[in-house]
Every structure is written in C-alpha cells, then in structure tokens.
C-alpha cells in the first residue's frame, strides 16, 4: 500500500501502523456477524471483502495533496513523521486497522504523546469515543450540571474510559462502578471512582459446537465492551430485552441491600451499562432517580437489525425498537433509555480525548505479558483466542514489526 498513490485530497493521510487492538466486534464479524449486511463470504477468521480493526497507532508516511503538511479547516495539522493514534468508524468495514498501512481521514487522527508506546496508545480511542458518546451525545451529562454516574462493567475498556472521562472532564460529581476483583484496585486508586461494587463471576457453562467445546461466557472480567457499542451478539439478545414485563435473573435484586444506593446517598442520574444483561438493566431501574434518571446500554439492537434486514429496513426497525424501549422504560420504570454508539467523527470528542491522553488523564488497561505477546498480522488468530480467554485481563493489542 505504501507504493499506491494517495488520493488527491488534503484530508487523507497514509499511516504506517505500529500497533492495533483487537475488539469483540472484530471477532464477531470474523465469525459471520453482519454477513447479510456486508454481503460477504468468510473462511475462519479471514473475511472476504472486509478489513477488520478499529483502533490504531502509527506514523504518518504520506499526506494527501503532496505538500508534506496540511491542516483541516479547524486547524488540525500533521506532517510526515508524526506519531499518531485514532479510530475509524464502527460501520467502516472497507477500511481496517489490521494492516501494515492505513489510509485515514485526518479528522480521525490525534497526535500520540511521546511518553506513550504505540501499544498503549492504540488501546484507547475506540473505547474512549464510545464512552464519550454515552456521556455526552445522549444529552445525559454536562459540565454545568455534573451528575452521579453508575457504570456497569467498570473494568472493561469502555467502562474505564467512562469513569476517567466523567471524572477528569467535570461531567460527574460521583462515579460508582461494578467490577471484578482484578479491576477493583485500578478503579479505586488509578481512576478514582468513589466506590467499587464487587461481584462474583458466573460459573462458565460449556456447549458443543462445530468448532469443538467452547465457553458460553465471553466476558473478560467485566465484559470487555470496547466495541459493543456497535455490536451485540445474538446470544445476548434474550437477556437484553427489557420489554417483557419480567426480568428473570434480576427479579429479586434489592438495590440498597447490594449497596448500589446507600441509605445516606441519593440515587444516580445516569447508569451506563457495558455488560448488557437483564440483571444489570433491572439493577439500573432500582438505582436511578425516578423521573430524571437515564439508562444507557452499549448493547442496542441497531447492528443486529441492520445486519439481518439491510440498512433501510433494519434502520427503520431499529428506530421503532428504540422508541418502544424508551416508551416502556418511561411507563414501567419512569426513567430515560438510550443506546450508546461510538462516533469517531465527533470533533469535540476527538479534541477532548487528545487533550486527556496528552495530559496523562485517560488510558486503558492493556494485557501485558512478556511471555505472551502478539507480533505481526500472523498473530491475529492467536489474539482472537486471547480475547475469548477470561483469564487474560485488559485490551488485547497486536504490535507490528
């Protein structure tokens, strides 16, 4: 790709990829998720006509227009040799960060701080964009009126970013998170959440499929939902439905007894759910303020419906489904309801993420084991296996030689 001409556009930049992360969305697409929408065939993890990967970090090697340095109308400047990081759109499957070179719009680029490695930088952007969307584009929080925020799955990449952005940007007065023991210390001491509500992992059940024995649980400690804002596995759809009037595994949940709302503190203004089960939804109904509280889930049905029915019909079905969920939540629980989706074209989000990362205020825990590293495109298959392994904590990152 390095030898291919750059389109004559000042907005395009060619980046030599130094590292990319592996997200649950990549794994699901490689297995055939959204096949109908993408109209592709697949063989194992090789998806014809589709490029996988959303996060990246690398070096600028060519700039559209050929003059070596350009800027957008809003003044974002890059030059050849700059180290950059960023994320591409969740809906962009023609492009992909799992490559040696990436042609990307400059508005999707941020300058990488020298103190960060490419491995550390590439783990941040897609999760951060998703977190920002949950906090801001839904209209749930504002610096003029900071909120009390509850995060389900605080140890996931998105959950960690929600807490960091909310606290560092003045969007929240209080952040409380659910998390497994592996993430509790990090959330308290590094992120600074007010309280961590621990929980025990579910026992794994195993089932036989055509690929052999696999675990039904895909959560990695706290459900690594760095890309679940754009996809929701069909295995979770029954658990994600809140409109049936009964909530099986959360029916006997008592918020105060489980410390979601202490007797001496008010309820929450916003609950952001990266886990997406019927239990976490029910817990949110008990913890949110009646009338003004808002529940935001990363596990909406948009991607699935579009994948099954196409852009036009599926989009219409998703709009109706969201309206139905909103109406049910208001009538049944007197709370707001919304879906959270990453928007990598949000200029305000890009500016804030770049600023927080530059100041050392925003980061994502990565899986870092000297004896188990991922190097080069040939290691992607092994990286996918690591993503499915709940014992490997943190974002899975592949470094390029």
Q: Which two tokens stand for residue 342?
A: 């990453």
| C-alpha 159 chain-centroid distance | 8
Q: pLDDT digits over 316-359, tens only? A: 888 898 899 999 999 999 999 999 888 898 999 999 999 999 99
Percent of the chain at pLDDT above 90? 49
Query: DSSP characters for 257-313?
Result: GGTSS-TTS--BSEEEESS--HHHHHHHHHHBPTTT-EEEES--SHHHHHHHH-HHH
- Which pLDDT score is estimated for 310? 66
Mean pLDDT along residues 217-236: 43
| Phi, then psi, of 117 in degrees rounded to 5 | -80, 165
Q: pLDDT digits over 123-152, tens only? A: 999 999 999 999 986 666 778 888 999 999
pLDDT value at 245 more than 60: no
Helix 157-168 / helix 125-132 crossing angle, nearest 10 deg: 60
pLDDT value at 225 more than 70: no
């Amino acid at each position: 790709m390095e030898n291919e001409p750059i389109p004559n556009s000042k907005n395009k930049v060619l980046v030599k990829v130094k590292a990319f992360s592996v997200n649950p969305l990549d794994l699901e697409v490689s297995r055939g998720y959204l096949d109908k929408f993408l109209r592709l065939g697949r063989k194992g993890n090789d998806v014809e006509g589709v490029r996988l990967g959303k996060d990246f970090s690398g070096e600028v090697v060519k700039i559209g227009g050929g003059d070596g340095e350009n800027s957008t109308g809003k003044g974002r400047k890059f030059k050849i040799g700059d180290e950059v990081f960023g994320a591409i759109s969740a809906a962009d499957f023609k492009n992909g960060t799992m490559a040696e070179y990436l042609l990307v719009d400059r508005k999707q680029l941020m300058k990488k701080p020298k103190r960060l490695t490419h491995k550390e930088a590439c783990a941040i952007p897609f999760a951060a964009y998703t977190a920002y969307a949950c906090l801001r584009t839904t209209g749930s929080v504002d610096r003029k009126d900071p909120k009390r925020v509850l995060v389900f799955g605080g140890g996931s990449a998105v959950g960690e970013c929600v807490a960091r952005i909310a606290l560092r940007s003045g969007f929240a007065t209080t952040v409380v998170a659910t998390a497994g023991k592996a993430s509790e210390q990090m959330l308290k001491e590094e992120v600074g959440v007010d309280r961590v509500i621990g929980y025990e992992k579910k026992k794994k059940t195993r089932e036989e499929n055509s690929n052999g024995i696999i675990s039904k649980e895909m959560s990695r400690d706290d459900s690594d939902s760095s890309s679940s804002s754009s996809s929701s596995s069909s295995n979770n759809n029954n658990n994600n439905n809140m409109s049936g009037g009964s909530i099986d595994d959360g029916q006997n949940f008592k918020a105060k007894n489980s410390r979601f709302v202490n007797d001496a503190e008010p309820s929450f203004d916003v609950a952001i759910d990266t886990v997406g089960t019927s239990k976490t939804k029910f817990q949110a109904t008990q913890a949110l303020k009646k009338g003004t509280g808002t529940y935001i889930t990363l596990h909406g049905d948009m991607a699935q419906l579009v994948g099954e029915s196409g852009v036009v019909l599926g989009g219409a079905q998703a709009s109706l489904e969201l309206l139905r969920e909103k109406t049910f939540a208001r009538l049944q629980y007197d709370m707001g309801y919304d879906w959270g989706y990453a928007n990598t074209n949000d200029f305000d989000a890009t500016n804030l993420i770049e600023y927080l990362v530059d100041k050392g205020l925003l980061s994502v825990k990565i899986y870092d084991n000297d004896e188990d590293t991922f190097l080069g495109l040939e290691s992607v298959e092994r990286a996918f296996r690591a993503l499915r392994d709940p014992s490997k904590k943190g974002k899975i990152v592949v470094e390029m030689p």
